Structure 1
């Protein structure tokens, strides 16, 4: 791909995300956080999206029992939310535009092939979407997949519960790695 095509793709991708975000906002399909929410960045629709994708993306390394999976999802969502809050305004906006694209029915169906709401999507539909975006010749889809993958994987594998699934025993000297309270009285 030459420079001109790359710039055209970037401009078209940016325009598509902006139009989708604007359309979702104006049509009332984009939710916002209530003032008293414990969530910093993740809207309800974003949490629903991530809840559907997470077990599929982490298949084989994620709890399978209902209670363990629900606990793990909640922990990972809190970590993602806290991490996103530290990204800075520009990056937060980009992630929210990606989530809006994936949550707005028309754009979700056209870009992912998943026409049902995320909570109703089958594992096969989600696997197909993830594989399609990962292997796509469209760089915007690759970037979207990589962003989702990094957010989810880094958040999950940072938890001690995930270490057992990978065979990682944990830090050899955790007492050295953990910062002790050095408060001066």
Structure 2
């Protein structure tokens, strides 16, 4: 489970993340990721943003339009988030799915506002993890992400966290940082990070806190 103390709720933390390169992979790593991403696109993997989803089981907000994450990326995070946050997620299945769905939407929204350089790095990383050949040979995840158990997702994260290969370490950091900020940035999770929420005057004054 990730450390909630590392996250600060709100878009400002996504802005801080965008100020630095995620992967710092060097020339060799950059060329490798670029090759994987190009190959994935040529092989027919989903490369376009998912747009609006009407999948009832996913509990996505049907009014939300994905502007960066593809359907394959969404499946990736649906597998990884339960491994990352474990007991911090609600126990009730529907509430759990809603928490995961909301986190994925915030990941998409945050990355959409990143600069082109970080967007490109993350696109290449996600392509590496969702393209079947590299998912198996590089990430050593044998099943497609919708079929990956939480235990197997956790094992993948641990392999990359402890790997002696810098690209994998940085990939782990990128995945967990954006997920951490998105998860604890949801108002239902503010209390888990020790954030009490915005002051009442801000809630009363600012339009983003008003509900229709």
TM, length-normalised to structure 1: 0.84
CA contact (8 A) 2:76 2:146 kept: yes
* Selected match of 1:174 from 173, 176, 199: 199
Corresponding residue of 1:70 = 97
Superposed, 1:49-88 pairs within 5 Å as 49-88=76-115
Whether 1:153 aligns to 2:180 is: yes
CA contact (8 A) 2:50 2:67 kept: no
CA-atom RMSD in angstroms: 2.2
Whether 1:92 aligns to 2:119 is: yes
Q: Of the two, which has the highest radius of gyration?
A: 1
For the residues of structure 2 that align with 1:36 and 1:127, how far apart are their CA atoms? 29
Structure 2: gaps of 5 or more residues: 1-24, 54-64, 208-212
Q: Sort the Cα spacing of 1:21 and 1:179 in 2 relative to 1 into closer, same or farther, 3 A.
A: farther
Corresponding residue of 1:32 = 48
For the residues of structure 2 that align with 1:75 and 1:16, how far apart are their CA atoms? 32
TM, length-normalised to structure 2: 0.74
Post-superposition Cα deviations, 1:123-178, rounded to whole Å, max 9, x if no partner, equal 221111100111111111111111110111111111221134x273614x612455
Whether 1:122 aligns to 2:149 is: yes
The alignment partner of 1:112 has SS state of coil
Q: Runs of at least 4 residues of structure 1 off by over 6 A?
A: 34-37
CA contact (8 A) 1:160 1:170 kept: no
Count of matched residue positions in the alignment of Structure 1 and Structure 2: 172
Structure 1: gaps of 5 or more residues: 1-8
The alignment partner of 1:145 has SS state of helix
Corresponding residue of 1:6 = none
The alignment partner of 1:60 has SS state of helix
The alignment partner of 2:80 has SS state of helix
For the residues of structure 2 that align with 1:34 and 1:23, how far apart are their CA atoms? 20
Superposed, 1:101-112 pairs within 5 Å as 101-112=128-139
Corresponding residue of 1:17 = 33
